[in-house]
């Protein structure tokens, strides 16, 4: 065996974890002197990391067919989250005890998780934190948070009342004599079974109090506005700034803001349009993406930015570069049987894309999350570098088996787009959902 062959053999045994201390010193001495060997070692290590990425990508592309959506998500975004970066924006923790006091039962089961996709966390009144919650788990009073882009969860109270948490929703939830929820931010969709007389379900937001006896409705709240959409029944809405009360009935919508000058009234709600297109104008503040205006021949576009894509087992968020569009208080678009998603994008180097849709039923209930992968091989860039894809609804695969297809007249509340390799400088110039026969312009 030549000296080089002997050293390469030492290297392979080092990488296999089989060198003694003395052999490792010998290897170190050789590497110290041999730049070619160091270059080879660096290259092998880089290959191993890339092979790991590829293995995880292939596992993602070939998920086990029978696993639940939550398992698919966890396989993709668990400790091994490929191309992911954990960051330190954990906002969970101690702030949840604020709402719980001795009057609320805190140890008995209040809800069971019926469905979940993405990262769902729970923090109990004493600060106990549980992350990565899964279907079937039963929990007592506490703060629930859907902590990743596209995360949604459906919870069921012991009486059968259901509440669905939209993505990036924080809500404290308790039940003693009556059900009480404090929605800090995000979206809740309710199916409330008839509640005992004198004990309505209560929902408090930063700007409103809702009192419910039995109905189907959706409430969206932020720091300065609450939007209520009632599908069936009646909800009593109180604007907190002045105590004014409004009864909102079937198919009506009302908004409670911090100001008292806005008209506080119920109006007939309408479904979102069937045609929707974006990025020619600046996106809403709650969307994720760095918008650049049109310049010369260059169209306006949105550049991918870090988004919370999932969560590690230890609760740490996992970041990916992506673009998110979400409805705030309303949904983005109503799906029809012939709806297609149209996308125009470019990347610094060829890369596959993933697009996720969060969908709700026409009555506000959770309708499932759906995902499609656009392999880089299936599109060719134009002379200007932009690629275009038109994807029918049938090409999306469900992330939760319980919701195998988008519901009829489903309404899209969230779209998340990300590239499936390292930072590829993803830019999206057009994102549209519209009937397939629509002309582009």
Partner 1 sequence: MALSQEIIVRVLFAARSRLSAAAWLVVRDAQAAEDIFQNVSVKALTKGVPFEQEAQLLSWAHVTVRHEAIDWLRRQRTGLVPLEVDVLELLEAEWAAEPTSGPRVDALRECLELAPAEGRRLLELRYFEGRQCEEVARATGLGLEAVYQRLSRLHRALKTCIERRLTTDEATFSSAPP
The CB-of-35 to partner 1 minimum distance in angstroms stands at 8
Shortest reach from residue 299's CB to partner 1, in Å: 23
| Part of the chain binding partner 1 (CB under 8 A), chosen from 34-42, 241-249, 328-336, 403-411 | 34-42
Q: Where are the beta strands (DSSP E) in 260-338?
A: 267-268, 276-278, 290-292, 301-303, 305-311, 317-326, 333-334
Q: Is 38 in the site for partner 1 (CB under 8 A)?
A: yes
For the CB of residue 17, give the shortest distance to partner 1 in the complex, in Å.
5
- Which of 6, 28, 271, 284 is in the footprint of partner 1 by CB under 8 A? 28
Residue whose pair of structure tokens reads 């709600």 in the numeric block? 269
The DSSP element (H or E) to which 48 belongs, if any, is: helix 35-61
Our CB check for partner 1 shows the closer of 17 and 65 to be: 17
In 3D space, the residue among 26, 283, 305, 255 whose CA is nearest the CA of residue 149 turns out to be 305
- CA-CA-CA-CA torsion for 154, 141, 248, 285, nearest 10 degrees? -70
Interaction between residue 48 and partner 1 (CB under 8 A): yes
> CA 369 to CA 246: how far, in whole Å?
34
How many residues touch partner 1 under the rule CB under 8 A: the total is: 64
Query: Residue 316 or residue 405: which is nearer to partner 1 going by CB?
Result: 316
- Closer to partner 1 by Cβ: residue 141 or 304: 304
The contact pattern for partner 1, residues 300-329, with x = CB under 8 A and - = no contact, is -----xx-----x---x-xx-x--------
Q: How many CB atoms lie within 10 A of CB 300?
A: 16
CB of 29 to partner 1, least distance (A): 8
H helices within 78-212, ranges in order?
Answer: none
CB atoms within 10 A of CB 166: 23
Candidates 52, 93, 382, 435: give the one binding partner 1 (CB under 8 A): 52
Please give the helix or strand (H or E) that residue 75 lies within, else none.
Answer: helix 69-77
Quote the least distance from Cβ 319 to partner 1, whole Å.
6
Q: Does 199 interact with partner 1 (rule: CB under 8 A)? A: no
Of 268, 274, 270, 303, nearest to 288 by C-alpha is 303
DSSP run (H or E) holding 236: strand 234-239
Q: Of all helices (H) and strands (E), which one includes residue 232? A: strand 225-232
Question: In the bound complex, what is the minimum distance in angstroms from residue 9's beta carbon to partner 1?
Answer: 6
Q: Does 41 bind partner 1 (CB under 8 A)?
A: yes
Instruction: State the nearest-atom distance from the C-beta of 66 to partner 1, in Å.
Output: 22
Within positions 344 to 373, which residues make up the interface with partner 1, using CB under 8 A?
349-351
- Determine, following the binding rule CB under 8 A, whether residue 46 of this chain makes contact with partner 1: yes
25 binds partner 1 (CB under 8 A): yes
- Is residue 51 a contact point for partner 1 (CB under 8 A)? yes
Give the shortest CB-37-to-partner 1 separation in angstroms: 10
Nearer to partner 1, 282 or 350 (CB): 350
Q: Does position 13 bind partner 1 by CB under 8 A?
A: yes
Positions 384 through 423 that interact with partner 1 (CB under 8 A): 421-423
* CA distance to 61, 148, 396, 411, per residue, from 406 (Å): 21, 21, 9, 9
CA distances from 305 to 224, 289, 373, 389 (A): 26, 5, 19, 21
Nearer to partner 1 among residue 100 and residue 319 (C-beta): 319
* Residue 428: exposure state from Cβ atoms within 10 A (0-12, 13-18, ≥19): buried
Q: According to the binding rule CB under 8 A, does residue 378 interact with partner 1?
A: no
Give min distance, CB of 304 to partner 1, in A: 10
Would you count residue 380 as binding partner 1 (CB under 8 A)? Answer: no
Tell the smallest beta-carbon distance from residue 386 to partner 1 (Å): 19
Identify the bridge partners of residue 113 per DSSP, sorted by sequence position.
Answer: 155
Given the complex with partner 1, which of 24 and 108 has the nearer CB atom? 24
Binding letters toward partner 1, positions 62-101, x by CB under 8 A: -----------------xxx-xxxxxxx------------
User: CB under 8 Å to 399, separation ≥6 — which residues?
Assistant: 69, 72, 73, 117, 356, 368, 369, 370, 371
Shortest distance, CB of residue 214 to partner 1, whole angstroms? 45
What are residue 287's phi and psi, to 5 degrees? -75, 165
For 341, residues 6+ apart whose C-beta sits below 8 A from its C-beta are 355, 357, 372, 390, 391, 393, 431, 432, 433
Q: What distance in Å separates the CA atoms of residue 68 and residue 70, rounded to the nearest whole number? A: 5
Considering only residues 2, 3, 16, 380, which one is a binding residue for partner 1 as defined by CB under 8 A?
16
Q: Which two tokens stand for residue 230?
A: 């009632």
The residue ranges that bind partner 1 (CB under 8 A) are 8-9, 11-21, 24-25, 27-28, 31-32, 35, 38-55, 57-58, 79-81, 83-89, 305-306, 312, 316, 318-319, 321, 349-351, 376, 421-423
């Amino acid at each position: 065996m030549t000296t080089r062959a002997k050293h390469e053999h030492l290297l392979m045994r080092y990488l296999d974890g089989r060198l003694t201390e003395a052999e490792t010193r010998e290897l170190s001495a050789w590497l110290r002197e041999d730049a070619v060997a160091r270059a080879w070692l660096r290259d092998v290590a880089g290959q191993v990391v890339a092979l790991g990425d590829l293995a995880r990508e292939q596992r993602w592309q070939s998920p086990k067919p029978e696993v639940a959506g939550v398992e698919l998500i966890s396989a993709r975004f668990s400790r091994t989250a490929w191309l992911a970066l954990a960051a330190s924006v954990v906002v969970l923790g101690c702030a949840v005890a604020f709402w719980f006091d001795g009057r609320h039962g805190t140890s008995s089961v209040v809800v069971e998780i019926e469905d979940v996709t993405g990262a769902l966390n729970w923090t109990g009144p004493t600060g106990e934190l549980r992350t990565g919650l899964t279907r079937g788990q039963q929990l007592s009073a506490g703060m629930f948070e859907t902590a990743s882009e596209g995360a949604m969860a459906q919870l069921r109270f012991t009486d059968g009342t259901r509440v669905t948490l939209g993505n990036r929703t924080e809500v404290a939830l308790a039940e003693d004599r009556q059900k009480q929820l404090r929605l800090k931010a995000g979206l809740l969709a309710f199916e409330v079974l008839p509640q005992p007389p004198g004990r309505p379900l209560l929902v408090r937001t930063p700007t409103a109090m809702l009192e419910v006896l039995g109905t189907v409705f959706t409430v969206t709240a932020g720091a300065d506005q609450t939007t209520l959409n009632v599908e069936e029944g009646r909800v009593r809405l109180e604007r907190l700034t002045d105590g004014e009360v409004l009864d909102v009935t079937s198919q009506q919508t009302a908004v409670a803001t911090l100001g008292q000058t806005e008209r506080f009234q119920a109006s007939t709600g309408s479904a979102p349009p069937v045609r929707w297109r974006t990025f020619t104008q600046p996106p809403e503040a709650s969307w994720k993406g760095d918008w650049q205006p049109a310049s010369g021949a260059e169209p306006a576009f949105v550049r991918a930015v870090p988004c919370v894509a999932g969560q590690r087992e230890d609760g740490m968020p996992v970041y990916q570069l992506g673009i998110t569009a979400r409805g705030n208080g309303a949904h983005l678009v109503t799906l029809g049987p012939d709806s297609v998603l149209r996308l125009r994008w470019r990347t610094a180097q060829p890369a596959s894309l993933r697009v996720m849709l969060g969908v709700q039923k026409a009555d506000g209930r959770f309708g499932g999350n759906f995902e499609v992968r656009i392999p880089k091989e299936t599109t060719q860039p134009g002379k200007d570098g932009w690629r275009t894809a038109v994807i029918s609804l049938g090409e999306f695969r469900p992330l939760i088996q319980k919701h195998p297809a988008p519901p009829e007249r489903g309404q899209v509340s969230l779209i998340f787009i990300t590239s499936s390799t390292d930072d590829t400088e993803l830019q999206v110039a057009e994102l549209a959902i519209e009937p397939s026969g629509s002309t582009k312009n």
